[in-house]
A and B are shown apart, each in its own frame.
Chain A
Amino acid sequence: MTQRSSLFTIGQPPGRRSYWLIGLGVFVLLGLAWYLSTASGLVPRLFLPAPADVLARMLSLAADGTLWADLKVSLYRIGVAFLISSAMSIVIGTLAGCYGFWKAASEPLVDFIRYMPVVAFVPLTILWAGTSDVQKFLIIWIGTFFQQVLMIMDAVKRVPPDFIGLGRTLGMRDPAILLRIVLPSALPGIWDALRISLGWAWTWLVLAELVAATSGLGYRITVSQRFFQTDTIIGYILLLGLLGLVTDQLMRAAERVLFRYNRRRR
């Protein structure tokens, strides 16, 4: 059999090395395009500052502490809101995935609210909670909780019925089956749901901070707009992307440790 170039064959995953090389290559290429378009004067600096300017601005913001203060506030907001939303959705999603009552009680409601645009809640939350942290929590919660409930409910429903049958034949009561069979079995799916929804939570955080805040990463972006500081704006957007990527990778790393049993050792 002849060896075909696997990179251009349908269904062939790229090798580890070529994956990273190509992936990085695209970044380098885009960075280069950015550099060239600004260095050549093709795009005015006001609209698109040079990479070096952005870097310099970010370094000076880091040096005077602004960056860290913004970061701390934003991390606190997303941390609290995400934990509350996740804790609630795990409880409600698991119950809804297991018991008919909870499914009937929550699924139609969640499905309904899920289709309401989160952005439309912003004015309301400002009226309720002003520009306080609670308003950020509310927006992040509205944006993630309802999605999480549905995804977690799905993960719980995917637990094989025979696992539950096994618990029954071992004489286990329903609460024991829920805690010792259903939850551990659904955990990889639940973790995945949390990882995906954390990505959305970042978006809702920045949205809340853009509209009504006196601190945070999103706030800094709005303020910079007033002073035409495009370098800060771009620097912060890139930073947000980086933060999303890092938290995602952290969750994936935790997944590999938590669910080691899914990998083959031999």
Chain B
Amino acid sequence: MATLEIRGLNKSFPHGREQRQVLRDIELTLHDNEFVSLVGTSGCGKSTLLSIAAGLEGFDSGQVLVDGEPIRGAGLDRGVVFQSYTLLPWLNARENIEFALKAAGRTRGECRRIADEHLQLVGLNDYAEAYPNELSGGMKQRVAIARALSYRPKILLMDEPFGALDAMTRHQMQELLTRIWEHHRLTVMFVTHDIEEAVYLSDRIVVMGRGPGHIKASFPVELGRPRHEEMATSTAFIALQRQVLKAIREDERQP
């Protein structure tokens, strides 16, 4: 079981001498094993919301609950994949995963075994000894995902993890992520700018609006699992994509 509940959340940042509200009355529940994408215009507070859920950022009022328990800072129950790959450059791919496992309290032997398993999972067993600097962007993000999965967090939080990748690599990564997710069944919060990506990956798409950031609409994705590439051309897929886009656009028209 792993649910993430955000209740009546408000958040403001100091702006000069005053406070500027960036999130207002956020109500959002991620059910067990649910894959939820968060979309919305730039600056509407998606990253801020994700950081708050991760426990990396504080908030003014409201509640963030994991399985009904209020969170106290960041923790191993919530894995985070950042847009910047955040692989530690002085450690090779395997050591980067082992680093997380060691922090999670695994023994040395376990670290090695689990790290290798997860490199295999993302198809990088041949690159176990490569340093981040020797890996392409897509490979780096695969290691980062392997690392975030390795210590079995109940919830995975991803902030535009594929935002810096080219279209081809991006497609491969989406394939990989659905495959892994359909296997492991985690609760996922996924921030993206790419609506097609959101539809392809998610069970539900949440649209955020600006001024200050709030939740505007929520669309269930009624496409079967497992997902495959051909679905992207189906009428249901395209219709949903349009609907989501329209919901986001409404926001842009306001000043």
A130 in the interface, Cβ–Cβ < 8 Å? no
Chain B: residues with CB nearer than 8 A to chain A?
Answer: 51, 54-56, 73-76, 78-80, 82, 84, 86, 88-92, 99-100, 103-104, 130-134, 151
Chain A: residues with CB nearer than 8 A to chain B?
Answer: 160, 162-163, 165-172, 176, 180-181, 184-185, 187, 259, 261-266
B82: which of A165, A176, A180, A265 is its contact (CB, 8 Å)?
A165
B55: which of A168, A176, A181, A262 is its contact (CB, 8 Å)?
A168
Do A168 and B56 touch (CB < 8 A)? Answer: yes
CA distance A160 to B76 in the complex (A): 21
Question: From A265, which residue of chain B is reached at the shortest CB distance?
Answer: B134
Q: Which of A163, A185, A259, A266 has the most CB of B within 10 A?
A: A163
Q: What is the distance, in angstroms, from B47's C-beta to the closest C-beta of chain A?
A: 11
Q: What is the distance, in angstroms, from A182's C-beta to the closest C-beta of chain B?
A: 11
Question: From A170, which residue of chain B is reached at the shortest CB distance?
Answer: B103
Q: Which of chain A's residues have a CB closer than 8 A to the CB of B133?
A: 261-264
27 contacts between A and B (CB under 8 A): A160-B86, A162-B82, A163-B86, A165-B56, A165-B86, A166-B80, A166-B82, A166-B88, A168-B73, A169-B56, A169-B75, A170-B100, A171-B74, A171-B75, A171-B104, A172-B103, A180-B99, A181-B88, A184-B88, A187-B90, A261-B92, A261-B132, A262-B131, A263-B133, A264-B133, A264-B134, A266-B134
Q: Which of chain A's residues have a CB closer than 8 A to the CB of B74?
A: 165, 168-169, 171
CA distance A180 to B95 in the complex (A): 13
CA distance A18 to B131 in the complex (A): 32
Q: Which of chain B's residues have a CB closer than 8 A to the CB of A166?
A: 80, 82, 86, 88
Which 6 pairs between the two chains have the least Cβ-Cβ distance? A170-B103, A168-B74, A261-B131, A169-B74, A169-B80, A162-B86
Q: What is the distance, in angstroms, from B79's C-beta to the closest C-beta of chain A?
A: 7
Q: Which of chain A's residues have a CB closer than 8 A to the CB of B151?
A: 170
Do A261 and B56 touch (CB < 8 A)? Answer: no
Q: What is the distance, in angstroms, from B66's C-beta to the closest C-beta of chain A?
A: 13
Q: Which of chain B's residues have a CB closer than 8 A to the CB of A168?
A: 55-56, 73-74
Q: What is the distance, in angstroms, from B189's C-beta to the closest C-beta of chain A?
A: 13
CA distance A171 to B74 in the complex (A): 7
Do B80 and A171 touch (CB < 8 A)? Answer: no
Q: Which of chain A's residues have a CB closer than 8 A to the CB of B92?
A: 261
CA distance A176 to B100 in the complex (A): 13
Q: Which of chain A's residues have a CB closer than 8 A to the CB of B131?
A: 261-262
Question: From B85, which residue of chain A is reached at the shortest CB distance?
Answer: A162
CA distance A125 to B246 in the complex (A): 75
B84: which of A160, A181, A262, A266 is its contact (CB, 8 Å)?
A160
CA distance A79 to B239 in the complex (A): 73
A163: which of B51, B79, B88 is its contact (CB, 8 Å)?
B88
Q: Which of chain A's residues have a CB closer than 8 A to the CB of B99?
A: 170, 180
Q: Given A162-B84, A261-B131, A169–B90 Cβ distance below 8 Å?
A: no
Q: What is the distance, in angstroms, from B173's C-beta to the closest C-beta of chain A?
A: 19
Do B89 and A165 touch (CB < 8 A)? Answer: no
Q: Which of A165, A170, A172, A180 has the most CB of B within 10 A?
A: A170
Q: What is the distance, in angstroms, from A1's C-beta to the closest C-beta of chain B?
A: 26
Do B55 and A171 touch (CB < 8 A)? Answer: no
Do B89 and A262 touch (CB < 8 A)? Answer: yes
Question: From B105, which residue of chain A is reached at the shortest CB distance?
Answer: A171
Question: From A187, which residue of chain B is reached at the shortest CB distance?
Answer: B90
Q: What is the distance, in angstroms, from A115's C-beta to the closest C-beta of chain B?
A: 31
Q: Which of chain B's residues have a CB closer than 8 A to the CB of A185?
A: 88-90
**A-B contact sample (17 more), CB < 8 A, given A168-B74, A169-B74:** A162-B86, A163-B88, A165-B54, A165-B74, A168-B55, A169-B54, A169-B75, A170-B76, A170-B100, A172-B103, A180-B99, A185-B88, A259-B90, A261-B89, A261-B91, A262-B131, A263-B133
Q: What is the distance, in angstroms, from B110's C-beta to the closest C-beta of chain A?
A: 16
Do A184 and B80 touch (CB < 8 A)? Answer: no
Do A165 and B80 touch (CB < 8 A)? Answer: yes
Q: What is the distance, in angstroms, from A245's C-beta to the closest C-beta of chain B?
A: 29
Q: What is the distance, in angstroms, from B131's C-beta to the closest C-beta of chain A?
A: 4
Q: What is the distance, in angstroms, from A118's C-beta to the closest C-beta of chain B?
A: 35
Question: From B131, which residue of chain A is reached at the shortest CB distance?
Answer: A261
CA distance A173 to B56 in the complex (A): 13
Q: Which of chain A's residues have a CB closer than 8 A to the CB of B56?
A: 165, 168-169
Q: Which of chain A's residues have a CB closer than 8 A to the CB of B134?
A: 264-266
Do A261 and B54 touch (CB < 8 A)? Answer: no
Q: Which of chain A's residues have a CB closer than 8 A to the CB of B80?
A: 165-166, 169
Question: From A167, which residue of chain B is reached at the shortest CB distance?
Answer: B103
Question: From B75, which residue of chain A is reached at the shortest CB distance?
Answer: A171
Do B104 and A170 touch (CB < 8 A)? Answer: yes
Q: Which of chain A's residues have a CB closer than 8 A to the CB of B79?
A: 169
Q: What is the distance, in angstroms, from B157's C-beta to the closest C-beta of chain A?
A: 8
Question: From A171, which residue of chain B is reached at the shortest CB distance?
Answer: B76
